[in-house]
Amino acid sequence: MLSAVGPIGNFSSTTVDVVLAVVLGYLLGSIPIANLVARRRAAIDLRDVGDGNPGFWNARETLGRRAALPVFVGDVAKGIAAAVVGVALADDGVWGLAYVGGGAAMVGHAFPVFARFAGGRSILTFVGTVIIATPLATGIGIGIVVVVFAATRSFAWGARAGIFALPFVQLVVDGPHRTAATGVLMTFIGVRFAQAALADRRAAPAA
């Protein structure tokens, strides 16, 4: 996968695999699970209620914890499925396509072709991606989430602790290259939060 092997027309198999991982990952990420659930449960569009984010946390606040559970599972599953596509396309020993597929799913979740390109911040799709791309580090991160949640009874604080700890844990477990790839995906989430903050500031009435 790191070199061109087996040309297909004018493209190497590496190029074809990357394109497939991007396209399939993006389409998987574009499935608007939160809005599908919200429309079925309450006939609403999550982009028009709450914080306007069509994702799990807004679904939980709007629909309730139990009704939002399929959103949680579905958004994580999108990242898992897209990363698995990357793994399936990659040659033995090549880990990068898991990140390519999962990253494409995150872009799809944020800018879904099936929902007028207005999506969420891709946090849970990121979680699904790293479950496949770096399972040991992610497992430790999830353990940190559970410990902090047990101590504080706050899932939000547990999630923050797990996400913050993940790159440091991964640096020890996987080394710098995979950690850098995870950092790129985390940066995308940061950009999405910055975009949301900017949009809120522009929407606020002038003082």
Interval 10-30 mean pLDDT: 87
Stated pTM of the model: 0.88
pLDDT band at 13 (very low <50, low <70, confident <90, very high): low
Decide if pLDDT at 205 tops 70: no
Q: Is there a contact between 28 and 20 (Cβ–Cβ < 8 Å)?
A: no
State both tokens at 199.
């949009």
Q: If we measure between CA atoms, which residue out of 65, 63, 23, 30 comes closest to residue 46?
A: 63
pLDDT, one tens digit per residue, over 86-140 is: 999 998 888 999 999 999 999 999 999 998 898 999 999 999 999 999 999 999 9
Which one-letter amino acid corresponds to residue 195?
Q
Pick the residue with more confidence: 19 or 193? 19
* Burial zone of 58 (CB within 10 Å; 0-12 exposed, 13-18 middle, 19+ buried): buried
For the chain, the domains span 13-133
